[in-house]
Every structure is written in C-alpha cells, then in structure tokens.
Amino acid sequence: MSERPSITAFFPAFNDAGTIGSMVVSVIETLEELTDDYEVIVVENGSTDYTVQVLESLAQHYPNLRVFTHREPLGYGGALRVGFASATKDLIFYTDGDAQYDPRELKLLVPALRDDVHVVNGWKIDRSDPLHRKIIGRIYHHTVKLLFGFKLRDVDCDFRLIRRDVFDLVELESDSGTICLELVKKLQDAGFRFAEVPVHHYHRTYGQSQFFNFPRIWRTIVQLVQLWWKLVVRRQHMRQLACRRQARRRNTK
C-alpha cells in the first residue's frame, strides 16, 4: 500500500494472563511503525485467571487500547464478532491472545495488501504443536478444504489483515471456532481476493488450548457439519432452484 493505512488490531483473550500483556505492547510498537492512526482492542472472553487485571493495568497506560470484558463466555466466534463490529479503522488485523503468533509479523502482511486484495491470510511455516495436535490439524485442514472448496493454503491460521468494508457485505453468525471457516467461505464466495504470507507459529507458553479436548472436538464436528449444510448444500440447492425457475421462464416466453 502506498499510503499509511489506519489499522485496528484486536485479540480475543481467554485465560491469556501470561501472554496478553506482551501481545498488546508488541502490536502497539508495531502499529506505531506502520501508521499514525490505530487502535488496539482486546475482547476478554470470560477468563478465570488474572487476564482482566492485566488488561485493566494496560488500559491505564495505553490510551489507544480498548478492552471489552465479558464475564460470561461469548465463545471464540462471539469474541471475534465483537472485535470486528467494534473496529473503527480501515483495516482490521487480528490474531489470538495466546502468543502462538508474533504480532510484529503484521509488518509482513501490510505490503501484501495491494489495491486488488481484500484479505491477507497468514500460513504457518511450521506448526509448533505436539504431534497429536499436528495430526488432528492436518486431518481437519484437508477435511474442510474438501467440504467447503477452500482455495487457501492454510484456512486455520488466525493471523489475518482484512479490509473493514468487506463486513458491509459479509455477516458472521458463528459463536464457536467454526467462525474462521464461515469467515473464509463467505469472503471467498463473495468474490473477495486473498493474498497469502508465511508467518511463524510458536509453542504455547501459557495456558491450555480451548479446542483440543475430545468434548470440544466432538462439538466442532457437529458444528462443522451444520455449517457445511448451510453454506454449501443449501446454497447449491438454492442455486439449482433459481436456475430451474429461469429455465421455466425462458420456456414460457
């Protein structure tokens, strides 16, 4: 981009007390290199550790930081929807508050946002997770790519820079982790163009994953099927009905 853009950076945070402080400070330092017009949003999502206290302390020192605290968990999708809806700048950057991605690598995404690109999606150079998570992750990646017809190299990389005006046409509904699939699918189907940039992925140093336990995996499978039925099967059916109606109209003329 030739001009310095205005940017909202936001993090969903759930029990990320040990990492969210460094994430906020790092992204503020990065944004100050990139633009004169920025804000940082943290959507706290029902944490039971001291995440809220860390955020309250940060907010006293950084005037461009806005914190949304929810004592009842919104779900991962709910937290992302609050972040997207609350953003006021032209571009929205988001990643998770657990520090498995480095917010300073936002500097890699901005140059890729050419005039004809609407979304810059990161892809993990190497996934720094235990072996069982890598295996589950690969199965998940290939399954959703087949089911939804995704063209991205890494749909499951939550390190994205998005033009805010895409949300004038795309409305998100998911409250769970399937929101990432919904987001990419709806953006892709609406004709928005993607660029992809390699980013690093790091070991988790604090807390536990919200997703990698068997009850959540089962719920994710159920939600995945529901999303596939809604965004793929029903849409194909509606397109077929529309084509049939058009054909009947032509035949009656």
Q: Is residue 42 part of a domain?
A: yes
Per the structure block, which two tokens stand in for 124? 């993990």
Position 244 scores a pLDDT of 63
Q: Which CATH number fits the domain that encloses residue 68?
A: 3.90.550.10
Q: Is residue 183 part of a domain?
A: yes
**Strand-pair partners of 162:** 92, 119
Q: Is residue 232 part of a domain?
A: no
Q: Is residue 230 part of a domain?
A: no
Q: How many domains does the chain have?
A: 1
Q: Is residue 80 part of a domain?
A: yes
Q: What is the pLDDT along the chain (253 residues), one digit of tens a residue?
A: 557 899 999 999 999 999 999 999 999 999 999 999 999 999 999 999 999 999 999 999 999 999 999 888 888 999 999 999 999 999 999 999 999 999 999 999 999 999 999 999 999 997 766 676 677 777 777 788 888 888 888 888 999 999 999 999 999 999 888 899 999 999 999 999 999 999 999 988 776 665 555 566 667 778 888 888 888 877 765 666 666 666 666 666 6
* Integer CA distances (angstroms), 137 to 131, 133, 220, 252, in order: 10, 6, 13, 52
pTM of the complete model: 0.85
Domain that holds residue 134: 7-215
Q: Is residue 127 part of a domain?
A: yes
Q: Is residue 137 part of a domain?
A: yes
